[in-house]
């Protein structure tokens, strides 16, 4: 599914998503990834939602986005609330959705200039 044809200068844009990959700025990623609005993508070594730990959210806390869009794979699933307490304490809003919806939502928010980060589970 193709999302957006062009890349705004300096902004990370998600171009396509399949069950096994996501394309950001024309580069295909086959592992879970964190997508900040600008700068380098961050490898996110999370194989599945069930494998998430509190420590997996540290790179997100370090980046301090306004909003985290959490893509949970092909279907919407929810993370245990206790795992996200540090994000809430840091006043980082969290929206959870399936990864396809997360990709679309991230692109909309980043196009509005929001300080958003996508945390995309791939293959989990």
Q: List, for residues 36-55, the tens digit of each pLDDT value.
A: 999 999 999 998 889 999 99
Domain presence at residue 95: yes
Closest CA to 69 of 91, 94, 52: 94
The answer to whether residue 2 sits within a structural domain is no
Q: What is the mean pLDDT of residues 2-14?
A: 69
- Three-state secondary structure string covering 73-114: CCCCCCCCHHHHHHHHHCCCEEEEECHHHHHHHHHHHHHCCC
- Pick the range with the lowest mean pLDDT from 22-26, 29-33, 47-51: 47-51
What are the tens digits of pLDDT across the range 53-98? 999 999 999 999 999 999 999 999 999 999 999 999 999 999 999 9
Whole domain around residue 33: which residue ranges?
A: 14-120
Residue 6 CB partners (closer than 8 Å, separation 6+): 13
- For residue 45, tell me if it sits in a domain: yes
Domains in the chain, number: 1
33 in a domain, yes or no?
yes
Tell whether pTM > 0.85: yes
Looking at the domain assignment, is residue 1 inside a domain?
no
Q: Is residue 5 part of a domain?
A: no
Residue 28 host element (H or E): strand 27-29
């Amino acid at each position: 599914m193709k999302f957006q044809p062009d890349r705004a200068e300096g902004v990370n844009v998600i171009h396509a998503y399949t069950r096994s990959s996501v394309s950001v700025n024309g580069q295909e990623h086959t592992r879970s990834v964190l997508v900040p609005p600008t700068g380098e993508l961050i490898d996110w070594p999370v194989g599945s939602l069930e494998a998430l730990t509190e420590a997996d959210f540290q790179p997100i806390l370090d980046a301090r986005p306004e909003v985290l869009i959490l893509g949970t794979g092909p279907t919407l699933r929810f993370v245990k609330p206790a795992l996200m307490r540090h994000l809430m304490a840091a006043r980082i809003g969290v929206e959870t959705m399936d990864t396809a919806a997360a990709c679309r939502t991230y692109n909309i928010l980043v196009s509005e200039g929001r300080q958003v980060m996508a945390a995309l589970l791939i293959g989990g």
